[in-house]
A and B are shown apart, each in its own frame.
Chain A
Amino acid sequence: MSGRTAGSSGSPFAPHTAAETAAMLEALDVDSEADLFDIPDEVAFDGEFGIPQRDERTVRADLRETFARNDDLTEFLGRGHYAHYVPAVVDDLASRSEFLTSYTQYQPEIAQGFLQALFEYQSMLVELTGLPVANCSMYDAATGLAEAALLAERVRSTSGTTVLVPEALRDGKRATLDNYVDGSDLTVETYPYADNTVDLDALADRVGDDTVFVYAETPTVTGAIEPALAAVGDLAHDADALFCVGSDPVALSLLQEPASVGADVVVGEADVLGLPTSYGMGLGLFACKEDYLRQVPGRLVGKSEDAADRRAFTLTLQTREQHIRKERATSNICTNQAWVALRAAMHAASLGPEGLVALAEDCVRNAASLAADLDAVEGVEAPLDDRHHFREFTVGVADAPGVAADLREAGFAVHVLDDGTLQVCVTDLNADAADDLVAAFAEVVR
């Protein structure tokens, strides 16, 4: 048996006094907790992990030292993971333990608070996308895109098996999509960009009877605002394919409403609101047309009423989900990103419509002004296309890896795309340092 007893330094989060433990053991008529375990000797573990117990202060100090090993660089990085200034009130309210330490709202009577917050989150996405159904989260933009492709396969109005995505797609999105469709009949193919946005003629050549799903982004992975969304949507619909738009809630505050360009599904990274830079942790936005309601992956909060005829919220249409439908569920997702959704909704509410639009407008203006300033540096060309940009754009230099390395020495992080191309991303958080970045470019590009 696994006859092991913890020493005196047990879990600091198990509140039992020695007397309580003794009383409980006595009530159960056993000598020690070890007697309660039914683990055959042959598979019992009697080794040690060798992890010492540490007090809270030591762990905090250790981790502070660990994180201090990250170099303090000013990041001009984006390509799918963005952050904007998050007001303190969002941190404060979202950290309330009633939110943070709750779970999925299986008992709606006692969870009205979170349910309402998620209903409000869904509503904001409905407004931003123009589509009537938004779920209360996917893990991130990549899994959201992958789920959207799988949705296309389930929707009756479509036929075909080819998923078309831009060739310039973030690797994390493409590779996740490839894994998700691997168990389906779908295959993923690409269409080219021209001048960093959709090459409509080339796309028209690729779309055909076999196309079931066409994906386009605005802004694109290099920050270009896509001018031809409606035309892409028409091409998709002519082939009875679903048209899926990738974007984010800040961009959507200013750019064309996806519904107005024919989007059937919208996916993207909603954590641009509410979440600081966090090594790629995300919040998958997922919105779609009413027709696909019963095929939506993930949780949905709906309005209902209680026994006293008062308005109440509840998780709904759960027969789509894994805990009821098992292998016929619309997705395997269970635990999602609800708390990140809460934060995004709080941030959106704290900005209000004018604040959101102003933030989005700054994403356009800051990018344009940084591009112009960089372009004025000898040996630097920016941007490398004729598009409007949102937050980020590509930059041409003679030796991109070398320039990036020198910029790093000067305290800046930028993306290297290939030997001659960099990418920089500017938001409200690093705009103050834009002039310094330009000066550093002037310094290192010779």
Chain B
Amino acid sequence: MLALATEVARVNFDQARFGDDTRNEPLLSEKDATAVDPGENSVLPDDLTRDSLELPRISEPELARHYTRLSQMNWSVELGPYPLGSCTMKYNPSFTDAVAADPNAAVHPDRDPETVQGTLELLYGLQEYLATIGGMDAVTLQPPAGAAGEFTGIAVAKAYHQHHGTDKSEVIIPASAHGTNFATAAMAGYDVVELPSGDDGRVDVEALEAAVSEDTAALMLTNPNTVGLFERDIAHIADVVHDAGGLLYYDGANLNALLGRARPGDMGFDIMHYNVHKTFATPHGGGGPGAGPVGVVEELAEFLPRPQVRKVGADTPAAAADGGAFADAGDADDVDDTTEDADGPEYELFDPARSIGKVHGFSGNWLVLIRAYAYIRRLGDEGLLDASAKATLNANYLASLLDLDVPYGPFHHEFAATAGERDAADVAKGMLDYGVHPPTTKWPEFVDEAMLTEPTEVENKRSLEDLAHAFNEAFADSDEELHDAPHKTTARRVDQTSAARDPRLSWHALEDGE
């Protein structure tokens, strides 16, 4: 462990708090409740309309103040460090918001493709970028989040196996995997075979060899894994799965560690999702929207959701897996514009031959996809390579400053510190008083009292030292002190048990004065 390079003063943090002794900013319903009779003046017959609607009527100044106050009672990346492991809470560049707000981008999904060539150009460009970055042959942008990408990918695997007349029943998932992997496999109708972690925190290859069989539809894996370790045996793992007739699925949550250094396609993965709200810096929006595009190798491309975008006349959707394809493609003034004017549209939609159908009503989270495309274009090769470099540098530097043990290594963009005898969730509450967001706690489970920490590339040295200070101070606090924490946040420790025991899920369920 290194000593802190500079003497760090405790950050003097206090989160905003509006309200009185019993509650914060009142609910909208406590500001006003106006009941109207919607049917009263309607042209519709009475039996088609409702009799009453009671909602708050709020003037615009009050509305502005309400939500501005709520915003001040909410932590965010633009306020300070947000090292939530596995979530890649990067800074979300402002210009991508400006780009997404372009009025010409506001088109309806049922527009004739010939009349929305700009939209298709962007979608095609993003398909190609992602294919290249992941080493995949074809990409769908339709899945609206990572978990939806998993579902899409496993549905593609299922369609592939069924097409080849092999009905398989199992998906193998390491114990260290994210909960969505298990839930996805079950939703797709597979039995989950859980693989225990090896002593070194990686896949236990012998256990894998024992687990695979002709029933294996796929192995779902993330790499680096959920404690930041690279699965060094990945080529062998791929062989084991492929030899059994299974497919290898890559959970893209941790791709930020590998940008420009390793590609799932080169590691032997057949299917992957990209978590663009993580790796490509689109804002997390308080829980979403994200986007979870899925890339596949050529053999699986015909199963992707419909529609896909391609260049008119091209028979493969995306084949840029060797890289080097974008030196000037897609630039505003490239020659293709003239082609379009002369010969009709440049891009078209098509349905892959054996498409699984759809996983979203339309084409996914368009406003998120725009931002991801703009981010990739801004960074380019150099920036992407530097993102993985600085993300890994930051995680290693931060870990070196901690008084907590980090049991496994060498790790990359994230690490799981252990709170040991302390309760990780309590240490996290202690950290809140230092003006930082704590890490993901108690996950993955094979690390005792895990504090999964991912600073991302956006923190500088000083900020990492502040973060280390928060960790170490909270870790040094007594159990009683931690039990009382936090003090400086809008709410003190929130009672989870009573919320679940007696669920009150709307203002209708609250008694007066609650």
Contacts and interface: CB of A to CB of B under 8 A. Distances in A.
Contact of B323 (A49, A356, A365): A49
Contact of B90 (A13, A81, A97, A110): A13
Interface stretch (B16-24, B206-214, B242-250, B470-478): B16-24
Nearest to B224: A38
Contact of A353 (B57, B63, B428, B503): B57
B132 A49 contact: yes
B350 interface: no
A446 interface: no
Contacts of A106: 84, 440
B214 to A, nearest CB: 20
A445 B24 CA distance: 61
A43 B326 CA distance: 23
A376 to B, nearest CB: 19
A20 B461 contact: yes
Interface residues of B, number: 208
B43 A71 contact: no
Contacts of A353: 34-36, 53-55, 57
Contact of B74 (A62, A87, A102, A280): A102
A364 B50 contact: no
Contacts, number: 700
B74 A133 contact: no
Contacts of B331: 62
Contacts of B111: 70, 73, 75, 77, 413
A280 B116 contact: no
Given A67-B119, A140-B361, A50 B288 contact: no
Contact of A113 (B45, B70, B158): B70
B349 interface: no
Nearest to B39: A254
Interface stretch (B293-301, B311-319, B381-389): B381-389
Interface string B180-199: 10111111111010000000
Given A102-B74, A361-B41, A109 B183 contact: no
B108 A45 contact: no
A21 interface: yes
Interface string A1-30: 010111101111111110011011101100
Contacts of A63: 99, 102, 122, 370, 373-374, 377
Contact of B429 (A39, A109, A176): A109
Interface string B389-408: 11011001100100000000
A108 B76 CA distance: 13
B495 A326 contact: no
Contacts of A68: 104, 118
B382 A81 contact: no
Interface in A278-316: 278-282, 293, 299-314, 316
A96 B65 CA distance: 12
A49 B136 CA distance: 12
A222 interface: no
A23 B15 CA distance: 33
Interface in A102-156: 102-114, 116-120, 122-124, 126-128, 132-134, 136-137, 139-143, 150
Interface string A172-188: 11011011101110000
Contacts of A444: none
A67 B105 contact: yes
Say which size band chain A's interface belongs to: 35 or more
Interface string A352-363: 111011001100
Contacts of B432: 107, 109-110
Contact of A36 (B35, B45, B182, B393): B393
Contact of A66 (B42, B332, B437): B332
A136 to B, nearest CB: 7
Given A20-B460, A60-B99, A338 B286 contact: yes
Contact of A310 (B23, B119, B192, B508): B23
Interface centre among A14, A15, A142, A184 (most CB of B within 10 A): A14
Contact of A175 (B105, B358, B498, B514): B358
Given A103-B287, A111-B75, A114-B286, 5 more contacts: A11-B457, A73-B115, A110-B15, A143-B359, A339-B283
B240 interface: no
B365 A2 contact: no
Nearest to B232: A40
Contacts of A107: 75, 428-429, 432, 437-438
Interface stretch (A157-165, A209-217, A343-351): A343-351
A252 B376 CA distance: 41
A108 B386 CA distance: 33
